[in-house]
Amino acid sequence: MGALDEGHYHSEIENEVNLELGFEVQPETVAIKDAVKVLLQGLGEDINREGIKKTPFRVAKALREGTRGYKQKVNDIVHGALFPEAGLEGGSGQAGGVGGLVIVRDLDLFSYCESCLLPFQVKCHVGYVPSGQRVVGLSKLSRVADIFAKRLQSPQRLANEICAGLQNGIKPTGVAVVLQCSHIHFPNFETAFLDSTPQGWVKILVTSGSGVFEDEKADVWTDFLSLLKFRGISIESAHPRLSDQSWCPSQSCGRLGQANSAITNAVLSILKSLGEDPSREELVGTPSRFVKWFMNFSNSNLEMKLNGFVRSRIDTRIHPGQVGSFKDGICSELNLSFWSQCEHHLLPFQGVVHIGYYSLDGLNPVGRALLQSVVHFYGFKLQVQERLTRQIAETVSLLLGEDIIVVVEANHTCMISRGIEKFGSNTATFAVLGRFSTDPAARAKFLQSLPDSCSAGK
């Protein structure tokens, strides 16, 4: 077929976006790459190892792309997309270009948390009341929202800036913005080994209004929220507005210790390279908060736990007599939570681990807590999901016998906050050892026991 004769394609590095000419040698790119090398070394990593040697470039590209909103202007977006549209011909009321609410719902965006530098997800709903006999192309509401999302933000400021941007750009009778924001939970490293409940996401709903929406008790808000409500959105929390000062888990993850100054300076350098002012109030503590979260993924932090783990393993191997008879013998520990850090993009991925094994008495001979420790041991470092899955399987096989199945289900921050922006996508990886690799019925039995809903997130 002629159409499949592929022409020459000018590929950029990794092909993720069309980069500007010279992107790689721009001072901001170089500065971020250098800073990321410091971060990697701070984790005790070899920055030349395969897998992470291109990570500094990937991170620089993702961060600069993900904050491109600093360089974008609302008027460039809406210019040429304001269309003349008549209002009512007669009678009293609102419709068309001189009134009549226009709503675009369920726009998926992501933004960067100014408190910890991690991306957060945004479900954005925008409404406006046209005036001046003109309406704006519907897609522009999404594009304008994206200008402000692609910056370091807090949810409330993001809502306010989208609202003000649209108000100034379109000059309508009023603009209303409702954002449902979801932020990844931070691992509490100290307690993560004891509590294996998957934590989902920190969520907040914020609103902002201008013009006829400026008064949050105005009836037009009721109209707007009515049409969101029946899309399954709870609006109880919309009024009064929640404070978003403390929504980011970094604000409540305990006192900041003495941070490594080289690493903190590297984060400062990144902030500057993105065009931010690190001395603005909301950003002053950001480098320290970032470092506190980030250093959870340092290899060395886990040596202590490893020691405890090795001891448990030996104990278990000494007392095999614990195992008795039980039905067909397939047992499972489901929904063990994990946090990890994608070594390709230095972005978290989190989710759940399901482990299947054989036990004649139906009992887990080593206890759920030890399995959770194994999961955290391999999770709290720079990883890829495939390796994490294999390492858990190999280690668990020393504890629970050679017949093991491990399924890891995860949400990858890097799948939403970079070029592909695949909101809602998620991943599953398998490892099968011993009987589980040769017995499809055993695999099927285990897979059917997995929980129905995606415990990995949301």
Q: Under the criterion CB under 8 A, does residue 166 sit at the interface with a copy of itself?
A: no
Nearest CA among 180, 181, 163 for reference residue 172: 163
Placement of tokens 């398998």 in the chain: 430
Placement of tokens 């200008």 in the chain: 147
Pattern 254-273, a copy of itself, x by CB under 8 A: --------------------
The span from the first CA to the last CA of the chain, in angstroms, equals 44
Q: Under the criterion CB under 8 A, does residue 95 sit at the interface with a copy of itself?
A: yes
Of 31, 41, 87, 332, which one interacts with a copy of itself (CB under 8 A)? 87
Q: Helix axis angle, 385-400 relative to 368-379, nearest 10°?
A: 150
Q: Helix axis angle, 385-400 relative to 303-318, nearest 10°?
A: 40
Q: Under the criterion CB under 8 A, does residue 152 sit at the interface with a copy of itself?
A: yes
Of 81, 233, 235, 369, which one interacts with a copy of itself (CB under 8 A)? 81
Query: By CB under 8 A, how many residues form the interface with a copy of itself?
Result: 121
Of 26, 47, 54, 265, which one interacts with a copy of itself (CB under 8 A)? 54
Q: Under the criterion CB under 8 A, does residue 151 sit at the interface with a copy of itself?
A: yes
Of 44, 254, 324, 424, which one interacts with a copy of itself (CB under 8 A)? 424
β-bridge partners, 209 = 176
Output the smallest distance, CB 367 to a copy of itself, in A: 23
Q: Which is nearer to a copy of itself, 292 or 344 (CB)?
A: 344
* Contact (CB, 8 A) for 189 and 380: yes
Q: Under the criterion CB under 8 A, does residue 46 sit at the interface with a copy of itself?
A: no
Span near a copy of itself by CB under 8 A; candidates 171-179, 194-202, 296-304, 421-429: 421-429
Q: Which 3 state secondary structure label does DSSP give 24? A: helix
Q: Under the criterion CB under 8 A, does residue 367 sit at the interface with a copy of itself?
A: no
Please count the other Cβ atoms lying within 10 Å of the Cβ belonging to residue 214.
15
Pattern 384-403, a copy of itself, x by CB under 8 A: xxxx-xx--xx--x----x-
Of 44, 93, 257, 324, which one interacts with a copy of itself (CB under 8 A)? 93
Q: Under the criterion CB under 8 A, does residue 381 sit at the interface with a copy of itself?
A: no
Structure tokens at 173: 């009778």
β-strands 119-129, 174-184 pairing:
antiparallel
3-state secondary structure 196-223: CCCCCEEEEEEEEEEECCCCCCCHHHHH
Of 60, 184, 336, 415, which one interacts with a copy of itself (CB under 8 A)? 415
DSSP for 356-372 reads EEE-TTS--SS-HHHHH
Q: Which of residues 186-225 bind a copy of itself (CB under 8 A)?
A: 219, 222-223
Output the smallest distance, CB 146 to a copy of itself, in A: 8
Q: Which is nearer to a copy of itself, 292 or 354 (CB)?
A: 354
* Contact (CB, 8 A) for 345 and 418: yes
Q: Helix axis angle, 261-273 relative to 27-42, nearest 10°?
A: 150
Q: Which is nearer to a copy of itself, 43 or 405 (CB)?
A: 405
Nearest CA among 245, 241, 242 for reference residue 281: 245
Nearest CA among 290, 302, 289, 266 for reference residue 381: 302
Q: Under the criterion CB under 8 A, does residue 414 sit at the interface with a copy of itself?
A: yes
Span near a copy of itself by CB under 8 A; candidates 81-89, 288-296, 322-330, 360-368: 81-89
- The angle subtended at Cα 247 by Cα 342 and Cα 150, nearest 5°, is 60
Structure tokens at 75: 């008027």
CA distance 304 to 308: 7
Q: Under the criterion CB under 8 A, does residue 284 sit at the interface with a copy of itself?
A: no
Q: Which of residues 346-365 bind a copy of itself (CB under 8 A)?
A: none
Q: What DSSP element (H or E) covers 331?
A: strand 330-342
Structure tokens at 40: 């990697």
Of 159, 238, 418, 457, which one interacts with a copy of itself (CB under 8 A)? 418
Q: Which is nearer to a copy of itself, 305 or 445 (CB)?
A: 445
- Report CA torsion sign: 373, 374, 379, 381: positive
Q: Which is nearer to a copy of itself, 295 or 359 (CB)?
A: 359
Q: 10: buried, middle or exposed (CB in 10 Å: 19+, 13-18, 0-12)? A: exposed
Pattern 128-147, a copy of itself, x by CB under 8 A: --x----x-xxx--xx--x-
Q: Under the criterion CB under 8 A, does residue 239 sit at the interface with a copy of itself?
A: no
Q: Which is nearer to a copy of itself, 239 or 280 (CB)?
A: 280
Span near a copy of itself by CB under 8 A; candidates 94-102, 243-251, 292-300, 307-315: 94-102
Pattern 101-120, a copy of itself, x by CB under 8 A: xxxxxxxx------------
Q: Under the criterion CB under 8 A, does residue 14 sit at the interface with a copy of itself?
A: yes
